[in-house]
Structure 1
Amino acid sequence: MTAELGGRIREARIARGLSLRAMAAEADISPSLLSQVETGKVQPSVSTLWAIVTCLGLSIDEVLGHSPASREPLRVEHPNPIQRARDAPEIVVENGVTWRGLAVMDPNVDAVLVTYAPGAASSPDDTHMRHPGTEYGYLIRGELTLKIDFETYLIRAGDSFCFSSSRPHLFRNDTDAVAEGVWFVAGRAGAASARSAPGPVRDAVDALDAMSRLPRRVGG
């Protein structure tokens, strides 16, 4: 199993045009450890495996060779290009963040209107998160603090951002006013996180997983 797992990781890395050193840097592990994983000499820990598959844009099931039922988001094209406000799916995160799904047909894109209440954050304990994909956003009103790796940025209304979601990141509203913006996550939809089963929506990764499981329809 270890050799098969390592082989799949190596094949996926090469298919994405990543060198051993480049991928190790992105996953925040040493090149020697990644090499040992790929050659089957080392069984990776759960955290190491999660970091690797996140960089590759894969799921745990895919690198383990499982063949689960399709996880493709249920997006159905409709003749009417308009999604009415009453039909927008809504997900409320435990820590004061609300996600409303926007009209989208591409199964590789999640489009959401995100609202951060005063004091809300993308994870309840200020944990930096990472997941497959690229994150784009535009802040409509309010202010948000965005932390990526070891850098901190203040985002104000009218500002936009873009970064690889595989980098550890956190959004937080440190003000006493509501912050709201439009977020797009590309390349993540359909990729299951390491959290195997649906449960309470505690943070942004849970919200992305929940959004991917919702039936989506444009128009109606």
Structure 2
Amino acid sequence: MRKAPEVEESARSQLRSARTGAGLSVRELSRRVGISPSMLSQIENGRSEPSVATLYGLVSALSISLDELLGGSAPNGEPNSGQVKHTVLRAEERAVLDMASGVRWERLTPDGDPLVAALLVTYPPGSSSSGNGGLMRHSGHEYGYLLEGELTAQVGFDTFVLHPGDSVSFDSTTPHLYRNDSSQSSKGIWHVVGLDPSETRENPF
């Protein structure tokens, strides 16, 4: 599978810049997100990857967007200078984020879109959206369509298994978790409409 180290380094740089710009120490930001200072340091320096839930927690605490981490916009919300907008986005040009346990997000739009987060999401065997198994919730409405493999979704008190061709939609403020309990990778297309990272919360119970 393709790697995009330049995107990953850009994401780490965005996290460091946002943290220092907010006047937060590694210790203080890690306390707010609920991870250890050493873990945050490893994430910023590329020695460890965050879980999906930890990534949401970081953008929430720093009041930045996922699109900023994926290179879609500068911290002031303007498109990155020199970035050319295209109607067609080639597969090899997608912005990529690799997270803990191998979960991968690939943005399906050339630039950041303030109306929707459109992602191709891959969960390898044994991976989940939360490193500690905690549910997360955030603003907006979530729409998912599974292309291949199997993916277990817990939404509130309900748990079900998605198969290729199945779709799911729910209010993202409902506590939820995705995990791949199968022996093969699962891949799907996800859209989150109306996402506000400042409202993201993990482990709500």
> Do both share a fold (TM > 0.5)?
yes
After TM superposition, the structure 1 = structure 2 runs for residues 6-45 of structure 1, keeping only pairs within 5 Å, are none
2:102 aligned residue (93, 96, 107)? 96
After superposition, give the CA deviation of every residue in 1:150-205 in whole Å (9 maximum; x if it has no partner): 1101100000110011110000000001100000011015x33569xxxxxxx9xx
Contact kept in structure 2, 1:146 and 1:155, CA below 8 Å: yes
Distance (Å, rounded) in 2 between the aligned partners of 1:73 and 1:181: 29
Q: Deviations over 1:129-163 (max 9, x none)?
A: 00111110100000010001111011000001100
User: Is residue 164 of structure 2 the alignment partner of residue 157 of structure 1?
Assistant: yes
Q: Over residues 36-86 of structure 1, what are the superposed CA-to-partner deviations in whole Å (9 max), with x where a residue is unaligned? A: xxxxxxxxxx9xxxxxxxxxxxx7899xxxxxx9664748783x4101122
Q: Give the RMSD, CA atoms, in angstroms.
A: 3.1
Instruction: State the distance in 1 between where 2:62 and 2:129 align.
Output: 25
Structure 2 counterparts to residues 116-195 of structure 1, below 5 A: 116-188=123-195, 191-192=197-198
In our comparison, the structure showing a higher alpha carbon Rg is 1
Q: Structure 1 stretches (4+) deviating beyond 6 angstroms?
A: 59-62
**Distance change >3 Å, CA 73–CA 140, structure 1 → 2:** farther
- State the percentage of identical aligned residues: 39
- List runs of 5+ in structure 2 lacking aligned partners: 1-31, 33-59, 64-73
Give the structure, 1 or 2, with the largest relative contact order (CA under 8 Å, sep 6 or more).
Answer: 1
1:117–1:179 contact (8 Å) kept in structure 2: yes
Partner of 1:55: none
Equivalenced residues, count? 132
TM-score by length of 2: 0.56
